[in-house]
A and B are shown apart, each in its own frame.
Chain A
Amino acid sequence: MKTNYDIVVVGAGPAGSMAARFAAEQGVSVLMLEKDRDVGYPVRCGEAISKAGVEEFIPSDDKWIAAKISKFSFNAPDGSEAIIDFGDAGYVLERRSFDYELARTAAEAGAEILTRAYVNGLLFDDGKVSGVKYEINGEQKEVKAKIVIAADGVESRVGRWAGLETHVDFRDMESAVQITAANIPVDQSTLYFYFGQDVAPNGYFWVFPKGHNKANIGLGVSGLIGKKKSAQSYLDDFMNKHYPNAPVLTKIAGGVPCSITLDKISGPGIMLVGDAARQVNPLSGGGIASGMIGGKIAGTIAGEAIKQNKLDHILTYDKAWNDRLGKRHETFNRIKEGIYNFSDDKFNSIAHSILKIPIEKRTLGKVFTTALINNPSLLVDIAKVFVV
């Protein structure tokens, strides 16, 4: 292995792999370091994504599709369920296989990959990031790089070592716990969302099918809620109520930074992508597609910077990201702040309004306008979102 690369990527999740791939495709040398022993595991994710979000990067493949999704089920606190059909639009992934395949595309483009390589510091040269320090098999090592791309997830420590402000306000951290359970007899093409103070205050509880009556089930709670009651405790309550005897195949904790993107996601020799840059869609908490987009933009710009021998070019990444998604996330974040503060009564009345629309006419647009017409106060909330 070399000790000098054009680009080192820290973290081999979807954002890291896409950064590595789009840089390596330009013929520059790329090394991607992963702290865990496996790329793609453990899975800390609800695993749902739109088909379009995937297919920008990799053709759909049944080996990492656990379920094909065509419907939403909106479950209000009073038990009302409104189902909305939106066509052939999404997947529940098998992230373990999916991340693996994404890393393969990076490898095919020419990136080198090293697992169990724990990055624990940065190298600097004249104030610019110039490589990373890492531990592997108990040995401390160093590797030089012209550009370091930090895809180190919710922890986002590499960015702070580089001098960027990366820590998440505890109110924006959705601390999540998720299980994969068997014998969950739900429709295998529907994503189920549950709302309400007792179920998932300031967020939603999800039950996402994974084929053969397996399901990815979980929720995230903000640090403000977590002060009083943990995500684990909400999950236990839900499972005891709905599926008391379901065998649990996996259980894991995770964190979703549900905020707008960091003020700065690039600096001298450093770029941040994915959760590390807070590129999660703050409304849905989804971060796979947006992380891959962030990775693609960063990897492309980093490759160009190396080829043109113009390292300052990486500073254009902030604007490129903001133009593609960052600004949209600011709007989503305002909507989130409106919706997640709704009372149980309001969630109930929205469900009742949707149920009045014949199921074949329940397009998302129609649902949205009906919810507004029947809940004038909702209109005020949405207006607030856009007026600010």
Chain B
Amino acid sequence: MNYRQAKNGKLMIEILPDKCDFCGCCVGVCPEDAIELKEAEIFIIDERCTNCAKCVWSCPIEVIHFNKEGVLAK
């Protein structure tokens, strides 16, 4: 299995871009500036993410998930 790599091991934060409203809550709370958000495009900058999950808790519409198994690389 080929997992995406965060700053401290496997990346466990997963954003479902198709469900995202691009509101910016996650970007505002991210202590590592690890989320990139354009008009209708969002993604994690893997090497900055520390899996702290603050983005998960701050998402109003449950678009960001904590995946204990790790996020697979595509």
Contacts and interface: CB of A to CB of B under 8 A. Distances in A.
Contacts of B30: 167
A136 B31 CA distance: 27
A385 interface: no
Q: Which of B24, B33, B60, B61 has the most CB of A within 10 A?
A: B60
B61 A253 contact: yes
A169 interface: yes
- For the complex, would chain B's binding face be called helix, strand, loop or mixed by DSSP majority? loop
B23 A44 contact: yes
A118 B1 CA distance: 35
Contacts of B21: 252-254
A231 B23 contact: no
B25 A255 contact: yes
A65 interface: no
B9 interface: no
Nearest to A156: B28
A176 B21 CA distance: 11
Contact of B27 (A37, A154, A177): A154
A223 to B, nearest CB: 4
Contacts of A231: 60-61
Interface string B34-72: 000111000000000000001001111110000000000
Contacts of A177: 60-61
Interface residues of B, number: 20
- For the complex, would chain A's binding face be called helix, strand, loop or mixed by DSSP majority? mixed
Given A35-B39, A155-B37, A253-B23, A167 B31 contact: yes
A47 to B, nearest CB: 16
Contact of A170 (B23, B24, B38, B58): B58
Interface of A: 35-37, 44, 116, 118, 135, 153-157, 160, 167-170, 173, 175-177, 220-221, 223-224, 226-227, 230-233, 252-255, 257
Interchain residue pairs A-B with the least CB separation, the first 9: A255-B25, A231-B60, A175-B60, A253-B21, A155-B27, A253-B23, A155-B24, A170-B54, A154-B28
Given A155-B37, A220-B60, 18 more contacts: A118-B39, A157-B27, A167-B28, A167-B30, A168-B28, A173-B25, A177-B61, A223-B57, A226-B57, A226-B59, A226-B60, A231-B60, A231-B61, A232-B60, A252-B21, A253-B60, A254-B24, A257-B28
19 contacts: A35-B39, A37-B39, A44-B23, A154-B25, A156-B28, A157-B27, A167-B31, A168-B28, A170-B29, A173-B25, A220-B60, A223-B54, A226-B57, A227-B57, A232-B60, A253-B21, A254-B24, A255-B23, A257-B28
